[in-house]
Amino acid sequence: MKINNTNILYACLLTCGMAANAYAIPEQEVNDSLQTAQPLTDANTHSVEGMMGNAGDRATKDVDYFTFQAQAGDVLEIDIDNGTFDSILAIFDDTGTLQRMNAYSTDIDEGSVSIMDARIDAFVAPKSGLYTVGVSSVPRYFLDGGTVLNDGLLTRAGIYTLAISGITTPSSVKQINIEVKPGSNDLPPLNPRSRGKIPVAIMGVAGFDVSSIKQETLRFGASGNEESLSRCQPESLDLNSDGQTDLLCHFENSVAAFQSGDIEGVLKGETDEGIHFEGRALLKVLPSRRK
């Protein structure tokens, strides 16, 4: 087990002539298994100053794991820089299945000191979810499930910088489908001077259950911030016959604040789980009559 001492780590970095990355965070032990991997949660913490073994060790059986969220289609670059040992990099999906592994780079990239700084180029995330990067040293290669080949061997201790790039941040607002005046084949006309109500269907889909909507948070109108809700119908509906339950709500036209020239209505709300959502639908606002 390594000593979890940030001062010792940075003293070693400076002794070796390495300036700590301003956006990097120190490795935190214990992180020697998939189950105890160190989470990298913020955009500026996908760079880590790490260490194989304890400060002052010449040999070690250490291995480090780090987890992060990636989105389907993200093209990731995972790189060891400034390493002082023969590094191995691996990436696992959320089931612990080994996706890629590399022990030597074919060239020396910026930040690396030799081809012994491992690098995984252009890893395309096959799905959105949790991924884990493992760092080890030759010949302690990774296997499925996060186990290590030659796990009993002692290898050279050292320090390294791990950099992960290409991660995109998912939108904090879920986009949903809505229909204004459902059942109309044409653009629904709205009279901005009317004192009536506007029916809006919130369409349920797999992964979005309309029964989870906190109805008191619903807003609808020209900007989506208008507190125009009148009521939602209590009965279950499947307005588009897709097998998913939809929710039909009615909003006060006079509060929705549509004006001539507006081309869409915006609905916003929140679920019981705290997920914010937004839907947009085209409409036609009738010109105001001349006095």
pLDDT per residue as tens digits for the range 119-178: 999 999 999 889 999 999 999 999 999 999 998 899 999 999 999 999 887 767 899 999
245 CB-near residues (< 8 Å, 6+ apart): 204, 209, 210, 211, 236, 237, 238
- What residue type is assigned to position 28 of the chain? Q
State the pLDDT at residue 151: 87
Q: What is the pLDDT of residues 49-94, one digit of tens each?
A: 999 998 788 899 999 999 999 988 999 999 999 999 999 999 999 9
237's tokens: 């509906």
Domains of the chain (ranges; CATH) run 6-165 (2.60.120.380), 173-285 (2.60.40)
Q: Which helix (H) or strand (E) holds 256?
A: helix 253-256
In DSSP notation, 59-73 reads EE---EEEEEEE-TT
- pTM confidence score: 0.57
Mean pLDDT, range 211-236, rounded to an integer: 96
Burial annotation 77-100 (CB, 10 A radius, 16+ → b, else e)? ebbbbbbbbbbbbbbbbeeeebbb
- pLDDT band of 12, cuts 50, 70, 90: very low
Q: What is the pLDDT of residues 194-209, one digit of tens each?
A: 999 999 999 999 889 9
